[in-house]
C-alpha cells in the first residue's frame, strides 16, 4: 500500500473540477465543485445525526436509494439549509448537472456548505455548470477541493494505491472541515473515489464500519453540523475480482479506505478554525473499546484542555478532569498520562497522581504543532484514538462575524 498523488482523480475513470460561479463574493475563491466517473459507480454514504439537515442531504439520500451514482456536485458559500425552497434548489442542481453531463439526475450526489438559513439562488450555479463540466480534468482534484472550502485554510486531499487479485487499485478523497466539527459526523464534507470493484453491500459495510473509528472521533468545537456527509463512489474500473464477501481482499480494501480517512481526519482536526495545533488523544489499557472511545473524545472535546494545549501548558489535571466527567467506567487510580510530540515524550501523571517532571521540557514538547495526549488505564485491551485541535483567540474572531 502506497500513498500517491491525484486525490479523487487518482482512481481510473474519475475527473474533477472547481470554478467560481458567483455564490461567494470573492471572485478569487472557487465555490462550485464537480467529481465525475466515466462509468456509473456503486455508491455509499453516511450523514449527519443533526435533526436539522440540509436540503442536499435529503435529495442525495433519495438519489442513492438504488446504491449508484456517477457525479458529485457541491457548492460552498451557502449551506442550503432551513430554506423554504431548499429541496427544489438541490433538485435543480441535479437536473442541470445531469443534462450537462448526459446522465440521469438521480445519479447525482448533491452537497452544499456555508451559511445556514440564507436563500440560495440557482442562477449562479446554473450558469456555472457549463464551465464546471468543460473544466473536468484528471488533474482537477485540487480545484475541486478548493471549491468546497469555507473557513478551511488548507486543501485536504489524499490518495492510496493497493493490490486486489493482482490488479492495482486506487482510492482517493477530498474533504472540507474547519468549524462545526464534532463526533457523530461533522461542516464536514468528504468525497471518496475508488476504481476497486466492490459490491454495494460490502462498500456500505466498509464505510459504516470505518467512520466509527475515524470521522466520528474528530472534534473541533463540539458543534455537529447540519450538512455533514461522507460519500464513496466505486466504479470498478481497476477490473479486480469484485469484492462480495469477507476475506483478505475486503480486509485490504478496508485498510486502504482507513488510510485515506485517517489522513483526512488529521487534516480536518489540524485545520480547525483558528487552530495552531493538531491534538491526538490515544487511549490504551481500557476495559473495552467503547470505554476508550468515550475517554478519548472527552479529552479532545475539553475546552480547558484545548486552551492549555494552545498555551503549551502541561496542565495534566485538565485531562484527568475530562476523564472524570466522561461517564466512562475507569479506575482513575491506575491512570497514567503523558504528552508527546516530535520533541519527545514526558510522563506527567502515574496512578492518578502527579509526578515530578521538567516544566521546561514539557513546554518544549507542547510548542510543536502536533501533540499526542497518551492515556493508559492499565486495565484491559481497549484502545481508541480521537483527533482535535487547540482553542485559540482566533476561533472566537472567526465565528463572531461568520455570517456578516
* Contact residues for 67 (Cβ-Cβ < 8 A; gap 6+): 42, 43, 44, 200, 204
Question: 383, 375 in Cβ contact below 8 A?
Answer: no
Question: What is the grid cell recorded at 37?
Answer: 466517473
Helix (H/G/I), strand (E/B), else coil: 189:
strand
Beta-strand (E) ranges in 64-209?
A: 68-78, 108-115, 156-164, 167-176, 189-194
Distance of CA 181 to the CA centre of its chain: 9
Q: Which one of the listed residues 60, 187, 291, 305 is annotated catalytic? A: 187
187 as an active site residue: the answer is yes
What gap in Å lies between CA 77 and CA 128, rounded to an integer?
Answer: 14
The maximal CA–CA distance of the chain, rounded, in angstroms, is 68
What gap in Å lies between CA 235 and CA 197, rounded to an integer?
Answer: 7
DSSP per residue, 220-274: SSSPPPSS-EEEEEE--TT-PPPB-SSSHHHHHHHHHHHHHHHHHHHHHHHT-TT
- Could you tell me where the DSSP H helices lie in 121-198? 122-134, 141-147
Q: Which residues are catalytic?
A: 187
Amino acid at each position: 500500500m502506497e500513498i500517491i498523488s491525484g486525490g479523487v482523480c487518482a482512481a481510473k475513470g474519475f475527473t474533477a473540477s472547481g470554478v467560481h460561479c458567483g455564490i461567494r463574493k470573492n471572485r478569487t475563491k472557487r465555490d462550485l465543485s464537480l467529481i465525475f466517473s466515466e462509468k456509473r459507480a456503486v455508491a455509499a454514504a453516511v450523514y449527519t445525526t443533526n435533526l436539522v439537515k440540509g436540503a442536499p442531504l435529503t435529495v442525495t439520500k433519495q438519489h442513492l436509494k438504488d446504491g449508484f451514482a456517477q457525479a458529485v456536485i457541491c457548492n460552498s458559500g451557502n449551506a442550503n439549509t432551513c430554506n423554504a425552497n431548499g429541496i427544489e434548489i438541490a433538485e435543480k442542481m441535479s437536473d442541470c448537472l445531469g443534462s450537462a453531463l448526459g446522465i440521469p439526475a438521480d445519479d447525482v450526489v448533491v452537497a452544499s456548505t456555508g451559511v445556514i438559513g440564507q436563500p440560495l439562488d440557482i442562477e449562479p450555479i446554473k450558469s456555472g455548470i457549463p464551465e464546471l463540466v468543460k473544466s473536468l480534468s484528471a488533474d482537477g482534484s485540487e480545484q475541486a477541493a478548493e471549491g468546497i472550502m469555507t473557513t478551511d485554510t488548507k486543501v485536504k486531499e489524499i490518495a492510496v494505491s493497493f493490490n486486489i487479485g493482482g490488479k492495482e487499485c486506487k482510492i482517493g478523497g477530498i474533504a472540507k472541515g474547519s468549524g462545526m466539527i464534532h463526533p457523530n459526523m461533522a461542516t464536514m464534507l468528504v468525497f471518496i473515489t475508488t476504481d476497486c470493484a466492490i459490491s454495494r453491500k460490502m462498500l456500505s459495510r466498509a464505510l459504516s464500519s470505518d467512520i466509527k473509528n475515524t470521522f466520528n472521533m474528530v472534534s473541533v468545537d463540539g458543534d455537529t453540523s447540519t450538512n455533514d456527509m461522507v460519500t464513496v463512489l466505486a466504479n470498478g474500473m481497476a477490473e479486480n475480482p469484485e469484492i462480495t464477501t469477507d476475506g483478505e481482499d475486503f480486509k485490504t480494501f478496508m485498510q486502504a479506505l482507513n488510510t485515506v480517512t485517517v489522513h483526512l481526519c488529521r487534516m480536518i482536526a489540524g485545520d480547525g478554525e483558528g487552530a495552531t495545533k493538531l491534538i491526538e488523544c490515544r487511549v490504551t489499557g481500557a476495559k473495552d473499546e467503547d470505554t476508550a472511545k468515550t475517554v478519548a473524545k472527552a479529552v479532545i472535546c475539553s475546552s480547558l484542555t484545548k486552551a492549555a494545549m494552545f498555551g503549551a501548558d502541561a496542565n495534566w489535571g485538565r485531562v484527568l478532569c475530562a476523564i472524570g466527567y466522561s461517564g466512562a467506567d475507569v479506575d482513575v487510580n491506575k491512570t497514567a498520562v503523558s504528552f508527546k510530540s516530535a520533541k519527545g515524550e514526558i510522563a506527567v501523571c502515574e496512578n492518578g497522581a502527579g509526578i515530578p517532571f521538567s516544566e521546561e521540557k514539557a513546554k518544549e514538547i507542547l510548542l510543536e504543532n502536533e501533540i499526542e495526549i497518551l492515556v493508559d488505564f492499565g486495565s484491559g485491551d481497549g484502545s481508541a484514538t480521537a483527533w482535535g485541535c487547540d482553542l485559540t483567540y482566533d476561533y472566537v474572531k472567526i465565528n463572531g462575524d461568520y455570517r456578516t
